[in-house]
């Protein structure tokens, strides 16, 4: 296991987000983490990347127990990880080339000529070598995400994490990003974790899937197994039904009572 999350509990302001979550990402495979909005998918990524600490449970990344690591050890571990943010999170005062070069410049003493070749190689891999001199503000959403992907892989990470990589993309960009995720995983052997609520896209590329619901893993297995699940919560999510365990209506007083109460007052 490259990422091993066991029995994780986490609460914010007394409100439980996770009540015993177990997620494992195996070496060289694509692991999908799905769930409705607000189920804590991004929070789980924050725990895996040691941005926040779990209240209880154990989180191991690349064999290291995050709870036992100091600040410098966490930074050393992060050099072995890459993450693609939903909005790309490119540094807006640097151009595309410098954005991709940023982690290399900050974390290594490689000579400039080597950095140049390395960055061009990664930009070529995402098809944006020609956009090296553009500023982030000049890129479309799909291009920004591809640049962010080039930046995420420039240090040759062992684990690559994608946070909602399919949100807000046109069909062409969506196809490109899906192909790139699959390609990075197969060509480079990177252990990949993809957090998304786009069931169809994730089911296409994921080897293993987890469905989070109400602070726990509601279902786990290959995407096909999840689709065949007889759990109402899993079925509602996989088929996108309007009503089910996750209700369409936010809790409210009786509709008729509330309507007529307004007339009477």
CB distance 80 to 157 below 8 Å: yes
Does position 118 interact with another protein (CB under 8 A)? The reply is no
**97 in contact with another protein (CB under 8 A):** no
User: Do residues 177 and 166 lie in contact, with contact meaning Cβ atoms separated by under 8 Å?
Assistant: yes
Residue carrying the six token digits 């693609």 = 84
Stretch that binds another protein, among 25-33, 78-86, 178-186, 254-262 (CB under 8 A): 78-86
Q: From the CB of 223, what's the least distance to another protein, in Å?
A: 27
Q: Are 99 and 138 in contact (CB under 8 A)?
A: no
Exactly one of 23, 47, 66, 90 binds another protein (CB under 8 A); that residue is: 90
Assigned token pair, 176? 């490109």
Q: Is 102 an interacting residue with respect to another protein (CB under 8 A)?
A: yes
Residue 216 DSSP SS3: strand
Told to check if 75 binds another protein by CB under 8 A, we report yes
Q: Using CB under 8 A, pick the residue from 22, 57, 64, 107 that binds another protein.
A: 107
191 is an interface residue for another protein by CB under 8 A: no
Residue 263 is a binding residue for another protein (CB under 8 A):
no
Q: Which is nearer to another protein, 154 or 181 (CB)?
A: 154
The whole-angstrom separation of Cα 50 and Cα 57 is 14
Pairing relationship of beta strands 3-12 and 208-213 according to DSSP bridges:
unpaired
Residue 153 near residue 122, CB atoms below 8 Å = yes
121 counts as binding another protein under rule CB under 8 A: no
Q: Whose structure tokens read 């020609």?
A: 130
Q: Rule CB under 8 A: which residues touch another protein?
A: 49, 51, 75-76, 78-79, 81-83, 85-87, 89-92, 102-103, 106-107, 151, 155
């Amino acid at each position: 296991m490259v990422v091993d999350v066991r029995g994780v509990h986490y609460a914010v302001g007394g409100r439980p987000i996770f009540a015993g979550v177990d997620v494992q990402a195996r070496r060289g495979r694509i692991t999908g983490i799905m769930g409705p909005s607000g189920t804590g998918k991004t929070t789980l990524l924050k725990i895996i990347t040691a941005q926040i600490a779990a209240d209880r449970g154990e989180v191991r990344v690349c064999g290291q127990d995050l709870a036992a690591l100091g600040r410098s050890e966490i930074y050393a571990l992060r050099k072995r990880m890459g993450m693609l943010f939903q909005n790309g999170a490119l540094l807006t005062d640097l151009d595309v080339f410098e954005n991709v070069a940023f982690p290399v410049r900050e974390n290594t003493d490689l000579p400039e000529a080597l950095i140049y070749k390395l960055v061009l190689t990664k930009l070529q891999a995402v098809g944006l070598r020609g956009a090296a001199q553009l500023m982030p503000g000049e890129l479309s959403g799909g291009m920004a995400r591809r640049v962010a992907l080039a930046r995420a892989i420039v240090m040759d990470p062992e684990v690559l994490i994608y946070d909602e990589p399919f949100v807000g993309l046109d069909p062409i960009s969506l196809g490109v990003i899906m192909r790139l995720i699959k390609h990075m995983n197969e060509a480079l052997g990177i252990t990949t974790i993809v957090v998304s609520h786009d069931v169809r896209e994730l089911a296409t590329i994921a080897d293993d899937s987890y469905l989070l619901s109400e602070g726990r893993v509601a279902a786990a297995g290959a995407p096909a197994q999840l689709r065949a699940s007889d759990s109402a919560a899993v079925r509602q999510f996989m088929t996108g039904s309007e009503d089910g365990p996750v209700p369409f209506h936010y809790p409210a007083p009786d509709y008729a009572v509330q309507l007529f109460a307004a007339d009477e007052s």
